[in-house]
C-alpha cells in the first residue's frame, strides 16, 4: 500500500504577540520593525500534515510565496512537521498579488513539488489579510475537491479516500459537525480549532521519532530548501503579481476605538481593608444587576 | 486488534528510565508510560545520587547504565563536604561526617530531578527506539488485567495494549500496587514526609559561601530544635546555582503533633546558620508616583521589570565561570572585569533612575513535597505480583539510617535487576511468577542495599562514632549509655552490632529512632558545646499561597482524590499536614479542594487516591 504525498501552503505573517509587534506613530503596522513568523493558522495546517506523517507515513512538502527571508519560517514549519521538502516561491514579479494571483503562484508551485499530491493543506485564513480566499482559489486552480473547516480526518490508503469532519457554524444558532467522504486528491482548509489526536502507542512512538528527526532536519534545513522564481515554476506572467490581480488594496483605514462605557475603579493591594472594599463594590454591582 | 509490546514500564522517574535503558541495552523492546506532560514533571528528590562500591557484593550504579554519565549528565555538584549540625536556638554544634558520606562510595552528587531525568530520558529513549520501544508521556495507566493468558494495560488516553511483562516504577504512591493488590498502602509509620524549597544563589557565591571549589559541593544536615520535636531532620545541599533545602520527618511523628509542612521548612530557614547560607542580594522596587499619568506609571513599571531582569541575568553570568566565558566568547564583553563594571553601572542606574533598593534576602524559586518510603520498615517482602516487578519507591526501598540517606541509587539498582530478570524471561518465553518474580526477588535479596536495609554495618558505625568522638558521653542519656560504651570499644563493637542485628531493625528502631536521638541529644549538645551564630537579616518567607501560586499546574476537571471519611481523626490532621493546604475544615467534615495538589500522597492513607490523568496536575520545574 502506497502512502500519500501531502503539501502545505503557508504564509509569513507579522508576529502580533506582545513585545514583538511594532506600530507606526499613525497606528499602522510597522512591518520593518515587526518580527515575521509562521502564521498561526498556517501552523495549524502544518500540524494537520504532521498528523498524516505520523499516522500514514505521508511525505510532506511545504510551500510559500514570499520574500527570501521567508526561509526561516519554512525552517520553523519543518521543525514542527519533519517536512521532506521546503519550497520558497520568490520573485519580485509576485509582488502586489491579490488572492487570485497568489493562488496562481501556489498552484504552479505545488505542481513543481516532488510527487503527485494527494492532499494539500492550507490554513483557515491569514492573520494579516483575513480574506480566507487563497486556499479555496488554489484548490480551484489545482482542480481539487475543496474541504473547508476541517477539524478531523482519516484516510483510507487502500481505497484512496478521505473521511473528514467539518465544523459548520450556524451563526448564532448552533454548530454542527458534518462528516464527508471524498476520493483523493483533496484540498483541505483546516479549521482553527483543529487538534491532532494520537491515540495509540505506536502513533505516539512515531510522533516522538519524527519530532526528533525534525530537530535534526531543521538544523540543516537548507538541504531541503528549494527556491523557485516565476520562470522556474512556469507561471503564466499574465496571471501573477499586479498584472494578475483583479483587485488592489486602495486604502486602509483604521477603525477608531470606541470610548469604553465601563466605569473602572482600580483597587490596588492585598490587605484585608482593600479586599473588603472589593467585596463591597461587587455586592453593590450585583444588587443593581439583578433582573427585577 | 491490540497493539503488542514486550515490556511496559510504568513511571518515568530515575528507576523507570534506568529499566528502559537496561532493557534496550539488552536488545529488548520496552515502552515507558509517564503521566506527566514531560519526563521529570512529577519527580522530586532531596537529593543526592550516590554511586557505591560495597565491600561485599555488587550494585548497579548510574554510570554502569549511562556510560557517559560523569562527562555529560547535568548533575549539579559532587558532594565533597558532609556535615551534621546540632541546633538549639542560635547555637550550632557541627560534626564533620564527610568520611561517612564517602564510605563505600565512588561519588555522591547533588541533583535536580527535572533536568537530570530529562537527560536520562534522552539516553534511554534513543536506545529504546532502536528496538521498537520508547517513551510515551502524558499517559496515565488506569488498569491492568489478565485475560486468556494475556496481560492488557488500559490507559486514560490511548487504546489498550498487550504486554508480556511489566515493571512498576510508579513511585511511593504506586497505583499499580494498589490496583493489583500487590501490597497495601504504606502506613504512616513506614513513611517520611519530605518538604523542599529550591533557592536561587549565583554559582560563585555558593563556592565562596560554602568554601568549596568549582567542582565541589556541600551537604549540611540539621537536627535538634529545628525539628520542632519531630523524628527526622533538615538538609541543605548545594546545587550548581541553586540550593535545595528541606525537612524530612516521620509521618507518624507528624501525625502525633501536627505541624504545617511549610512551617517546618520555615523553621529551618529562620535558623541563623541557614539564614546566612541562603542569603542573597535582592532588588526591591521603589514606589511609582501614583499621581503620574497612567501611561507613565505603566512605562516605568515595564522599564523596571526589564532592568531587574537584565541585571539579574548578567549577575548570574558574572558569578558563573561558564557564564562569563560564554559572554566573552559571544563577543559581548572583552573581559570579566568589563562584565563587573557593566553590572555595577546597571546597579547604579537602577537605584538612581528608578529608586530600586538592594536588600539582603532569600530568593525561593520552587516549593515541593514528597513521601519517602522508609525501606527499613516497608520494603516489599515479595516485590512482584504475577508478571509485574516493583522497583524503587514503588517497592518501598530506600536506605535511611541516621545520616545515611539513599534512595535514587537503590531504585536504579532495583531497576537493572528487574530489567535483567525480564530479559531472561523474554529469552525463555516464561513469564510465570516462579520464573520472573522469584528470580527477581532473589536478585534483590542479593543486593548489598537489601542487606543494608536489614542490618547495621559496624564499619559505617565506627566512622560515625569516630566523627562524633568529641561528643561528651554524659549528654547521651542513660538510655543508651551502655550501648555507646560498647560501640566505642573496638572489641565490644562487633559483639554489640552482632547482638543488635540479631534483634533486627524491628526491635532496634524504636530505641534508635526516637525524639532523644533526633531532638533532645542534639539540642543539649548545641546548648552546651555549640557556637553562637547570628544572622545579619531576617529572611522574608513566602506564604503558602505565594508558594503554590509560583507552581505550574495543569488542572484536571476531574478530582483525582476522593475523601472517604471526612470526619476521621486522620483527615482532620490533613488540614494541617497537607503541604499545599488542600483540605478545609467544614461543618460536615473535611473537604478537599484539589487545585494546588502537588500529588505527594500524604493524605492517601484514608482517601481514594490516584494520580491525575495524563498531562494533568503538578509540573515541577526543578524537582
Question: DSSP string of B509-532?
Answer: HHHHSSHIIIIIHHHHHHHHHPEE
* Structural domain total, chain A: 1
Residue A169 belongs to a domain: yes
* Structure confidence at residue A251 (pLDDT): 80
- Domains, chain B, in order of start with CATH, read 3-76+111-183+380-454 (3.50.50.60), 79-104+187-279+362-372+514-542 (3.30.9.90), 284-359 (no CATH), 458-506 (no CATH), 551-618 (3.30.70)
**Which helix (H) or strand (E) is B33 found in, with range?**
strand B30-34
Average pLDDT over residues A120-129: 87
Query: Does residue A185 have a cis bond before it (omega within 30 degrees)?
Result: yes
HEC sequence for chain A: CCCCEEEEECCEEECCCCCCCCECCCCCECCCCCCEEECHHHHHHHHHHHHHHHHHCCEEEEEEECCHHHHHHHHHHHHHHCCCEEEEECCHHHCCCCHHHHHHHHHHHHHHCCCCCCEEEECCCCCCCCCCCHHHHHHHHHCCEEEEEEEEEEEECCCCEEEEEEEEEECCCEEEEEEEEEECCEEEEECCCCCCCCCCHHHHHHHHHHHHHHHHHHHCHHHHEEEECCCCCCCCHHHCCHHHCCCCCCCCCCCCCCCCCCCCCCCCCCCHHHHHHHHHHHHHHHHHHCCC
* Structure confidence at residue B509 (pLDDT): 78
What lies within 8 Å, CB to CB, of A160 at 6+ separation is A118, A183, A184
Residue A264 belongs to a domain: no
* Structure confidence at residue A260 (pLDDT): 67
pLDDT exceeds cutoff 70 at B484: no
> What residues in A contact B161, CB-CB < 8 Å?
201
The model carries a pTM of: 0.89
CA distance readout (Å), A61 to A110, B64, B231, B261, B561:
9, 43, 64, 55, 47
B162 touches A: beta carbon within 8 Å? no
Cβ–Cβ below 8 Å for B139 and A204: yes
Can you read off the three cell numbers belonging to residue B373? 518510603
Q: How far apart are CA A44 and CA A266, in angstroms?
A: 39
> What residues in A contact B3, CB-CB < 8 Å?
200-202
**Positive or negative: CA dihedral A241, A246, A248, A254:** negative
Which of A19, A55, A201, A269 is the best substitution to test chain B (most B C-beta atoms within 10 A)? A201
Q: What is the ipTM of this complex?
A: 0.85
> What residues in A contact B136, CB-CB < 8 Å?
201, 204-205, 208
Residue A258 belongs to a domain: no
Q: Are B417 and B474 in contact (CB under 8 A)?
A: no
Residue B31 has its nearest CB partner, among A199, A201, A209, at A201
Residue A287 belongs to a domain: no
* Structure confidence at residue B139 (pLDDT): 97
% chain B with pLDDT above 90 = 83
pLDDT exceeds cutoff 80 at B482: no
Residue A105 belongs to a domain: yes
- The string of pLDDT tens digits covering residues A191-219 is 999 999 999 999 999 999 999 999 999 99
> What residues in A contact B157, CB-CB < 8 Å?
199
| Phi, psi at B379, each rounded to 5° | -60, 140
- The string of pLDDT tens digits covering residues B218-275 is 999 999 999 999 999 999 999 999 999 999 999 999 999 999 999 999 999 999 999 9
Residue A215 belongs to a domain: yes
Cβ–Cβ below 8 Å for B158 and A209: no
Q: How far B192 CA lies from chain A's nearest CA (Å)?
A: 36
- The string of pLDDT tens digits covering residues B140-167 is 999 999 999 999 999 999 999 999 999 9
Burial B47-80 (b: 16+ CB within 10 A, else e): bbbbbbebeeeebbbbebbbeebeeebebbbebb
Residue A17 belongs to a domain: yes
Average pLDDT over residues A18-25: 69
What lies within 8 Å, CB to CB, of B259 at 6+ separation is B228, B230, B576
Cβ–Cβ below 8 Å for A208 and B134: yes
Q: How far apart are CA B461 and CA B402, in angstroms?
A: 10
- What range defines the domain where residue A114 resides? 5-244
Classify residue A46 as exposed, middle or buried by CB count within 10 Å of its CB (0-12, 13-18, 19+).
Answer: buried
pLDDT exceeds cutoff 60 at B479: no
* Structure confidence at residue B293 (pLDDT): 81
Q: Give alpha helix (H) positions in B181-271.
A: 203-209, 251-256, 261-270
Q: How far A267 CA lies from chain B's nearest CA (Å)?
A: 13
pLDDT exceeds cutoff 60 at A292: no
Cβ–Cβ below 8 Å for A200 and B125: no
Band the pLDDT of B514: cuts 50, 70, 90.
confident
- The string of pLDDT tens digits covering residues A41-81 is 999 999 999 999 999 999 999 999 999 999 999 999 999 99
Band the pLDDT of A93: cuts 50, 70, 90.
very high
The bridge status of strand B531-532 relative to strand B91-96 is antiparallel
Q: Give the nearest chain A residue to B302 (CA atoms).
A: A19
Q: How far apart are CA B324 and CA B340, in angstroms?
A: 10
Rg, C-alpha atoms of chain B: 25
* Structure confidence at residue B382 (pLDDT): 96
Cβ–Cβ below 8 Å for A201 and B159: yes
Q: How many CB pairs under 8 A join A and B?
A: 31
Q: Give the nearest chain B residue to A213 (CA atoms).
A: B126
Mean pLDDT of chain B: 93
Q: How far apart are CA A72 and CA A62, in angstroms?
A: 13
Q: Give the nearest chain B residue to A210 (CA atoms).
A: B129
| Phi, psi at B454, each rounded to 5° | -110, -25
pLDDT exceeds cutoff 90 at B338: yes
What lies within 8 Å, CB to CB, of A33 at 6+ separation is A22
- The string of pLDDT tens digits covering residues B102-123 is 999 999 999 999 999 999 999 9
- The string of pLDDT tens digits covering residues B417-470 is 999 999 999 999 999 999 999 999 999 999 999 999 988 888 888 888 888 888
- The string of pLDDT tens digits covering residues B168-205 is 999 999 999 999 999 999 999 999 999 999 999 999 99
B9 touches A: beta carbon within 8 Å? no
* Structure confidence at residue A26 (pLDDT): 66
Provide the CATH number for the domain around residue A111: 3.40.50.620
Average pLDDT over residues A255-270: 71
* Structure confidence at residue A159 (pLDDT): 96
**Which helix (H) or strand (E) is B195 found in, with range?**
strand B191-200
Residue A270 belongs to a domain: no
* Structure confidence at residue B497 (pLDDT): 74
Q: How far B141 CA lies from chain A's nearest CA (Å)?
A: 12
B125 touches A: beta carbon within 8 Å? yes
Q: How far apart are CA A33 and CA A22, in angstroms?
A: 6
Helix A201-219 with A40-56: angle, nearest 10 deg:
120
pLDDT exceeds cutoff 80 at B365: yes
- The string of pLDDT tens digits covering residues B34-66 is 999 999 999 999 989 999 999 999 999 999 999
Amino acid at each position: 500500500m502506497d502512502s500519500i504525498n501531502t503539501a502545505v501552503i503557508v504564509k509569513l505573517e507579522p508576529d502580533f504577540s506582545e513585545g514583538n509587534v511594532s506600530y507606526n506613530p499613525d497606528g499602522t503596522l510597522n512591518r520593518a520593525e515587526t518580527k515575521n513568523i509562521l502564521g498561526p493558522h498556517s501552523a495549524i495546517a502544518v500540524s494537520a500534515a504532521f498528523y498524516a506523517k505520523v499516522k500514514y507515513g505521508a511525505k510532506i512538502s511545504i510551500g510559500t510565496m514570499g520574500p527570501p527571508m521567508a526561509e526561516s519560517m519554512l525552517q520553523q514549519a519543518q521543525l514542527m512537521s519533519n517536512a521532506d521538502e521546503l519550497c520558497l516561491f520568490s520573485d519580485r514579479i509576485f509582488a502586489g498579488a491579490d488572492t487570485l494571483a497568489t493562488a496562481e503562484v501556489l498552484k504552479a508551485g505545488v505542481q513543481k513539488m516532488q510527487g503527485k499530491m494527494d492532499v494539500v493543506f492550507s490554513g483557515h485564513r491569514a492573520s494579516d489579510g483575513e480574506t480566507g480566499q487563497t486556499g479555496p482559489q488554489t484548490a480551484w486552480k489545482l482542480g481539487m475537491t475543496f474541504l473547508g473547516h476541517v477539524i478531523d480526518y482519516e484516510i483510507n490508503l487502500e481505497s484512496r479516500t478521505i473521511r473528514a469532519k467539518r465544523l459548520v457554524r450556524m451563526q448564532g444558532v448552533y454548530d454542527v459537525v458534518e462528516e464527508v467522504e471524498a476520493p483523493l486528491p483533496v484540498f483541505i482548509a483546516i479549521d482553527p480549532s483543529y487538534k491532532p489526536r494520537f491515540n495509540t502507542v505506536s502513533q505516539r512512538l512515531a510522533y516522538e521519532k519524527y519530532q526528533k528527526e525534525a530537530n535534526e532536519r531543521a538544523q540543516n534545513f537548507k538541504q531541503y530548501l528549494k527556491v523557485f522564481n516565476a520562470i522556474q515554476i512556469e507561471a503564466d506572467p499574465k496571471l501573477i503579481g499586479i498584472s494578475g490581480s483583479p483587485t488592489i488594496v486602495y486604502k486602509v483605514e483604521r477603525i477608531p476605538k470606541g470610548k469604553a462605557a465601563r466605569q473602572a475603579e482600580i483597587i490596588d493591594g492585598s490587605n484585608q481593608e482593600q479586599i473588603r472594599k472589593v467585596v463591597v463594590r461587587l455586592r453593590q454591582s450585583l444588587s443593581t444587576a439583578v433582573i427585577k | 486488534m491490540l497493539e503488542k509490546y514486550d515490556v511496559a514500564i510504568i513511571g518515568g522517574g530515575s528507576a523507570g528510565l534506568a529499566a528502559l535503558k537496561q532493557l534496550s541495552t539488552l536488545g529488548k523492546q520496552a515502552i515507558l508510560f509517564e503521566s506527566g506532560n514531560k519526563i521529570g514533571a512529577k519527580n522530586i528528590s532531596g537529593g543526592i545520587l550516590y554511586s557505591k562500591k560495597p565491600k561485599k557484593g555488587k550494585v548497579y550504579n548510574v554510570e554502569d547504565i549511562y556510560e557517559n554519565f560523569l562527562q555529560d549528565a547535568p548533575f549539579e555538584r559532587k558532594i565533597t563536604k558532609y556535615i551534621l549540625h546540632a541546633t538549639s536556638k542560635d547555637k550550632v554544634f557541627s560534626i564533620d561526617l564527610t568520611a561517612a558520606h564517602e564510605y563505600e562510595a565512588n561519588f555522591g552528587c547533588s541533583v535536580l530531578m527535572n533536568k537530570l531525568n530529562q537527560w536520562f530520558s534522552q539516553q534511554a529513549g534513543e536506545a529504546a527506539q532502536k528496538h521498537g520501544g520508547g517513551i510515551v508521556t502524558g499517559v496515565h495507566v488506569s488498569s491492568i488485567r489478565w485475560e486468556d493468558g494475556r496481560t492488557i494495560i488500559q490507559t486514560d488516553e490511548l487504546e489498550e495494549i498487550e504486554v508480556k511483562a511489566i515493571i512498576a516504577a510508579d513511585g511511593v504512591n504506586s497505583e499499580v500496587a494498589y490496583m493489583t493488590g500487590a501490597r497495601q498502602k504504606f502506613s504512616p509509620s513506614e513513611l517520611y514526609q519530605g518538604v523542599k524549597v529550591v533557592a536561587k544563589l549565583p554559582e560563585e557565591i555558593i563556592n565562596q559561601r560554602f568554601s568549596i571549589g568549582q567542582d565541589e559541593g556541600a551537604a549540611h544536615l540539621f537536627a535538634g530544635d529545628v525539628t520542632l520535636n519531630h523524628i527526622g531532620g533538615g538538609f541543605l545541599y548545594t546545587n550548581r546555582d541553586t540550593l535545595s533545602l528541606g525537612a524530612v520527618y516521620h509521618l507518624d511523628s507528624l501525625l502525633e503533633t501536627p505541624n504545617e509542612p511549610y512551617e517546618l521548612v520555615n523553621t529551618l530557614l529562620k535558623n541563623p546558620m541557614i539564614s546566612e547560607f541562603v542569603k542573597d542580594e535582592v532588588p526591591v522596587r521603589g514606589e511609582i508616583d501614583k499621581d503620574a499619568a497612567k501611561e507613565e506609571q505603566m512605562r516605568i513599571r515595564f522599564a523596571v521589570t526589564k532592568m531587574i531582569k537584565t541585571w539579574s541575568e548578567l549577575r548570574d553570568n558574572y558569578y558563573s565561570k561558564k557564564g562569563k566565558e560564554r559572554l566573552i566568547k559571544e563577543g559581548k564583553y572583552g573581559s570579566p572585569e568589563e562584565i563587573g563594571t557593566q553590572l555595577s553601572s546597571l546597579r547604579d542606574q537602577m537605584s538612581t533612575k528608578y529608586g530600586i533598593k538592594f536588600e539582603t534576602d532569600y530568593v525561593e524559586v520552587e516549593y515541593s513535597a514528597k513521601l519517602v518510603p522508609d525501606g527499613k520498615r516497608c520494603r516489599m517482602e515479595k516485590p512482584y505480583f504475577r508478571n509485574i516487578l516493583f522497583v524503587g519507591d514503588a517497592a518501598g526501598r530506600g536506605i535511611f539510617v541516621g545520616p545515611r540517606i539513599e534512595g535514587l541509587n537503590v531504585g536504579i539498582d532495583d531497576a537493572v535487576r528487574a530489567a535483567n530478570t525480564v530479559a531472561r524471561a523474554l529469552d525463555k518465553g516464561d513469564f510465570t511468577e516462579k520464573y520472573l518474580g522469584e528470580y527477581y526477588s532473589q536478585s534483590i535479596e542479593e543486593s548489598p542495599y537489601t542487606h543494608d536495609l536489614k542490618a547495621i554495618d559496624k564499619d559505617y558505625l565506627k566512622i560515625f562514632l569516630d566523627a562524633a568522638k568529641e561528643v561528651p558521653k554524659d549528654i547521651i542519656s542513660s538510655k543508651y549509655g551502655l550501648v555507646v560504651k560498647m560501640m566505642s570499644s573496638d572489641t565490644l563493637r562487633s559483639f554489640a552490632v552482632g547482638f543488635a542485628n540479631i534483634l533486627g531493625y524491628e526491635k532496634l528502631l524504636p530505641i534508635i529512632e526516637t525524639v532523644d536521638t533526633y531532638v533532645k541529644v542534639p539540642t543539649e549538645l548545641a546548648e552546651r558545646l555549640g557556637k553562637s551564630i547570628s544572622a545579619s537579616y531576617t529572611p522574608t518567607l513566602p506564604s503558602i499561597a505565594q508558594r503554590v501560586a509560583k507552581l505550574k499546574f495543569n488542572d484536571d476537571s476531574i478530582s483525582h482524590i476522593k475523601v472517604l471519611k471526612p470526619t476521621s481523626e486522620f483527615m482532620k490532621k490533613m488540614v494541617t499536614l497537607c503541604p499545599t493546604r488542600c483540605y478545609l475544615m467544614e461543618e460536615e467534615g473535611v473537604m478537599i479542594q484539589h487545585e494546588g495538589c502537588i500529588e505527594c500522597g500524604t493524605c492517601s492513607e484514608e482517601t481514594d487516591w490516584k494520580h491525575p490523568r495524563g498531562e494533568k496536575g503538578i509540573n515541577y520545574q526543578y524537582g
